[in-house]
Amino acid sequence: MTSGRPSDDRQIAFVISDVDGTLVTSDKILTPRSIDAVRRLAAAGIGFTIASARPPMGLTSLIAELELEHPIGAFNGSTLIDPDGSVIAEHLIPEETARDAVRLFGDLDLDVWVFARGRWNLRDPQGAYTDLERRTLQAEPTVVADLGTLLDGASKIVGVSADADHLAECETKVAEALGNGADVHRSQAYYLDVTPHGLGKGSFVDEIARRLGIPHARIATFGDADNDVPMFARSGFSVAMGNAQDAVKRAASAVTAGNDDEGFAKAVDEFLLTR
């Protein structure tokens, strides 16, 4: 692990962590050591919550296992939910932008998923990474013939491809085409997410600070991907995972071990609980 701890005048009061690639392993497992780290944060008087590209349905088990008590950010923070699963605030992709995104994904030969009306919707239930997403969300997709009927209520649209290099190229093309209509980020090497513009994990940090009355300087954030960098920029202390790309590591205050090597728990001990 590299870099130092928060300074004494920025004593951390709250922690926000990404989920996939950060808090859970590559096999989507929340380890006992990570659960214990969250409990020790609570014992030290430090609050904790999660912000994830996942839909609310994919966060239910984590909320229970971690005994979360504060608002949770789904869809990269554009939808806020209570620990009981009820929606506090929800933002949607403008319908015209959603239609443009689906058309672009089709032109770029990507499988398309639409998260809308509380469901994971797709056309091909046997497509790339559908089995992984079933395990991640612990839910089945809704198969529809026409995704277009859902685009007036889409919270997130995902372009899926097993070709990581192609998807990286698609990210730039789609972001340029949609402009300020939506935020475009890869949440995984194989997922390209389109979510409501300006309502990502950075704005989620702002919302937590406002709701709980905590200065940004006293919030720590954990992440591994480009969509976590805005969260880093809005917090007083940030930790990138060892499995993150170099640009994400450079944006963070500190770097820990990888998500398959208990990096989250190690960082909690090294940077937040050790004095």
> What confidence tens digit (pLDDT) does each residue in 115-170 have?
999 999 999 999 999 999 998 888 999 999 999 999 999 999 999 999 999 999 99
Residue 46 structure tokens: 């430090």
Q: Are strands 142-143 and 182-188 parallel, antiparallel or unpaired?
A: unpaired
Domain segments of the chain as ranges: 8-90+199-273, 95-196
Helix axes 164-178, 95-107, angle to 10 degrees: 140
Distances from the Cα of 112 to the Cα of 36, 54, 133, 194, 230, angstroms: 37, 15, 13, 11, 25
- Read off φ and ψ for residue 8, nearest 5 degrees: -60, -30
Whether residue 151 contacts residue 143, with contact meaning beta carbons closer than 8 Å, is answered with no
Residue 138's pLDDT is what?
86
pTM of this structure: 0.87
CATH class of the domain at 8-90+199-273: alpha beta
Mean predicted confidence (pLDDT) in 81-110:
94
Fold held by 95-196: 3.30.1240
- Taking only the tens place, the pLDDT of each residue in 51-72 is 999 999 999 999 999 999 999 9
- Read off φ and ψ for residue 237, nearest 5 degrees: -145, 135
Q: Are strands 142-143 and 119-122 parallel, antiparallel or unpaired?
A: parallel
Residue 85's pLDDT is what?
87
Whether residue 41 contacts residue 268, with contact meaning beta carbons closer than 8 Å, is answered with yes
Residue 24 is which amino acid?
V
- Read off φ and ψ for residue 49, nearest 5 degrees: -155, 180
Mean predicted confidence (pLDDT) in 239-243:
96
Residue 2's pLDDT is what?
58
